[in-house]
Amino acid sequence: MSAERKVIQEATRRVLLKDFLVRESARAGFGGLDIQRTPMGTRVTLICERPGILIGRRGEIIKRLTDDIQHRFQLDNPQIEVKEERQPSLNAQLMAEKLASTLERGWHFRRAGHSTVRRIMESGARGCQVILSGKLTGERHRTERFKAGTIKYCGDGVRLFIEKGFYQARLKPGVIGVNVWIMRPSAKLPDEIKVKGVSERRPAPVEIVPPIEGDEAVVPIIDIPAAEEPPP
């Protein structure tokens, strides 16, 4: 098999594995996936909001999920690790799922979009953008954007600081795509420059000695040079 076919096959396997895990961990709140090849096998890290639901009683659900992954996707000795998301409001995938669930419950798309943006910004994000696309109000497809803060669309800023999440809201008129972009609070943009080692020079404080009883106060005399007269 050529190198190109191996790359395509591996990428396809990762996409199918992610779709499978999103469906299986929907109740636990899927927040992200990380796959790493190790000498001991394949380590799969799942980030979710409620890890107890995914692990199950005595680890029964996670064991069954491991066996399904090994047989369906032919992974070498898969090991699943479940991590809890400490800040769900700053996880783009979780917020996309929550927004899609809100739309399915009947919320108006503008109210749901503005509410999601406000919640993300109140959690400390530097910027966020919500994109809804589909049959929002009528039979025609349209796209609505809700944005706050700073968002980068190209360059290293997108790769390093922007986290993206996608989910689908299934309504009676059709499927609505939900995209959520979040700029992390720790993002440092290239135009933000901080100069170190520069301090403001302030004049030294003048100490005023109060006069002693019986002595006259001594007022320092300051010689002020006279202004030079202009030449005739």
**Domain 3-84 of CATH type 3.30.300.20:** yes
**Closest by Cα among 109, 96, 108, 123 to 185:** 123
pLDDT value of residue 181: 95
- Domain boundaries along the sequence of the chain: 3-84, 88-183
In the numeric block, which tokens belong to residue 137?
């109000």
What digits encode the pLDDT tens for the residues 9-60?
888 888 888 888 888 887 888 888 888 888 888 888 888 888 888 887 888 8
Residue 198 pLDDT exceeds 80: no
**CATH class for domain 88-183?**
alpha beta
What digits encode the pLDDT tens for the residues 114-150?
999 999 999 999 999 999 999 988 888 999 999 999 8
Three-class SS state of 94: helix
pLDDT value of residue 178: 94
- Tell me the CB-side half-sphere exposure of residue 147, using CA atoms within 13 A: 8
